Amino acid sequence: MLSFQTVSCDGLLDCKVKIVQAGQGYKASMPCALLAASVSERPSGLVLDVGCGVAGASLCLAWRFPGIVIHCIDSYRPFLSYARLNRKINSFADRLVFRAGSVADYDQVWPIYDVVMTNPPFYDPKNAKESPNSYKRQAHVLQIPLATWVDFCWQSLTEKGQCFFLFPSFRAQEVCDLMQQKDGSSLFQLPIFFSPQRPAPWMLFQWNKDSSAHRVLPPYLPPFYNAKGQLEPFGRAVFNDGSSLQHAFRMVSRLGTS
């Protein structure tokens, strides 16, 4: 049961997608739009959002690709309560399917997916400062080994499937090492710079189960913001218009050469 005294009503993609979530603690925000924007081509089959939270990324992807079906899993039931409400207020009906479950439960039978996307919790519980807010703690502190999360994403993919994995840069090398242990895969990385003056806080991985699969991520990303903190044309295309990273990159490149 949700207490509306603690609820925040927000929006993504310039409020094209409406988000109801807890008023304090973890808030679905730009990383959700960024993860959805990594999927540049319309998925031909099912999509899996691993650790979906309140379904921010899934809602953005469903808005961009009408008709696709996304399965969303999370182990924290309060997140799923908000996610189901967000599905309703955005009128996505049966296009988003929610399941409560942990990636550590390999005895569960999961379908096989053409696209897996995930933005997992990232702090090691041994080193993380304990937060009194349960929403923030669930979103930021990884309760299982990172290797288990990575392996679950791998096991969920079809033979030609792609995984888009968004993770903070300070642990990106761990993810890279784990992914490269899988024989037959191909891996592409993309540092995420929000402004030209700051280091990349995030790393985006495109992980293909087929070693011959091509790269769908841009070769690099123009800055999302200028020095004054204002969205650049690339940032507006992704965060306001809901474009994919690849489409926004091509658009900005054409503008730069015209």
Question: pLDDT digit string (tens) for 86-122?
Answer: 999 999 988 999 999 888 876 666 779 999 999 998 6
Question: pLDDT digit string (tens) for 206-241?
Answer: 999 998 899 999 999 988 998 888 999 999 999 999
In the chain the domains, ranked by start, together with CATH numbers, are 4-257 (3.40.50.150)
Determine what percent of the chain is predicted with pLDDT higher than 70. Answer: 86
Question: pLDDT digit string (tens) for 153-162?
Answer: 999 999 999 9
Model confidence, pTM: 0.91
What gap in Å lies between CA 84 and CA 71, rounded to an integer?
12
Which pLDDT value is given to residue 134?
Answer: 63
Question: pLDDT digit string (tens) for 232-241?
Answer: 999 999 999 9
User: What's the mean pLDDT in 63-72?
Assistant: 96
Nearest to 95 by CA among 53, 132, 43: 43
Place of tokens 């087929």: 210
Q: Are 18 and 68 in contact (CB under 8 A)?
A: no
- For 12, the 3-state DSSP assignment is strand
